[in-house]
Amino acid sequence: MSRPELQAPPEIYYGDTEAKKYTANTRIQQIQADMTYRALELLNLPPDEPKFLLDIGAGSGLSGEILDDEGHIWVGVDIAPSMLEVALERDVQGDLFLQDIGQGFGFRPGSFDGAVSISVIQWLLNAETSHPTSSPPHRLTRFFTTLYAALRNPSRAVLQFYPTSDDQIQLITSIAQKAGFGGGVVVDYPNSKKARKVFLCLYVGGGGGQQVPKGLEGDVADENAVKFEKRRERERRREKSGKRKNVKAKDWILKKKELYRQRGKEDVPRDSKYTGRKRRTVF
């Protein structure tokens, strides 16, 4: 299937059913959690200090819960009402706003100690109407300039997103730089098709001496992934075919005994109600 951002605008794509599905899916939960932890790592906040963070595209609060766990206070914005409804049902701690990030934020300058965004800004790359304010560059500019203003100096914003092409990365980083941000793109597991993750790691201030952190390399730590088990499938197939019967079944035993008697074998145990029963464990 084609990518979700090509199918419908986010507030429509994440309708009631999709929002519930998205939040209930344990695989998505796991991926979101991993990416949120990685984003927090890239944010490089001082340890054990509660900070005031902005979660862009907070959705149902999957990432916000992790911010809670880490002891931060956060504000979430999202454009999909259904997702926010799920967040309300889940009783998340942060303040939630129904807001289109492409229209810009109204926060006072220097409000936040950092910002995270998980799988969101690719949604800004589609024009919904032909109005000039709906063009991707305009929306991105508006988003990055107001985000830059809302962040404290020095601080960081880490935005994970799914680009379809290098041109998109180029467009997004150039607009972010024009808005005043330093930093760049961090790619985790660049050689893996599945685990590859792109993080836009942006700095506000900091004297320009900050290096963009390195992406993770090597093989993916795969211990949490579900391994493909052929055994299960094989067993299921055998059960379905129904050819093989259970060896210890009572009628099988009776049949064998009958056969032995016909052949004249001595000492064949007589049949009783106990035939084919399991012994008690204490025996």
**Distance from C-alpha of 73 to C-alpha of 45, rounded to nearest angstrom:** 13
- Any contact of residue 103 with other proteins (CB under 8 A)? yes
50 forms part of the interface with other proteins (CB under 8 A): yes
Number of residues that bind other proteins (CB under 8 A): 35
Instruction: Assess contact for 44 and 38: CB atoms under 8 A.
Output: no
Q: 199 - beta bridge partners?
A: 160, 186
How many whole angstroms separate alpha carbon 139 and alpha carbon 125?
Answer: 8
CA-CA-CA-CA torsion for 33, 216, 184, 149, nearest 10 degrees?
Answer: 30
Residue 126 lies near other proteins (rule: CB under 8 A): no
- By CB under 8 A, is residue 142 in contact with other proteins? yes
Q: CA end-to-end span of the chain, whole Å?
A: 60
Strands 95-98 and 52-56: unpaired
In the set 107, 162, 189, 260, which binds other proteins (CB under 8 A)?
A: 107
Residue 252 is a binding residue for other proteins (CB under 8 A)? no
| Least CB distance to other proteins at residue 44 (A) | 17
Rank residues 60 and 201 by Cβ distance to other proteins and give the closer one.
60
Residue 220, Cβ density class (10 Å: 0-12 exposed, 13-18 middle, ≥19 buried) = middle
**Nearest distance in Å: CB 214, other proteins:** 30
Please identify which residue in 10, 57, 94, 215 interacts with other proteins, judged by CB under 8 A.
94
99 or 192: CB nearest other proteins: 99
**Judged by CB under 8 A, which of 3, 17, 49, 283 binds other proteins?**
49
Q: What is the dihedral of CA 71, 73, 78, 84, to 10 degrees?
A: 80
Which of 29, 44, 99, 135 touches other proteins by CB under 8 A? 99
52 binding other proteins? (CB under 8 A): yes
Least separation in angstroms between residue 8's CB and other proteins is 17
Distance between CA atoms of residues 70 and 228, nearest Å: 33
Identify the residue whose tokens are 């197939």.
Answer: 237
Per CB under 8 A, does 73 bind other proteins? yes
Residues at the contact surface with other proteins, assessed by CB under 8 A = 49-52, 71, 73, 75, 77, 79, 81, 84-85, 88, 93-100, 103-108, 110-111, 129, 131, 133-134, 142, 146
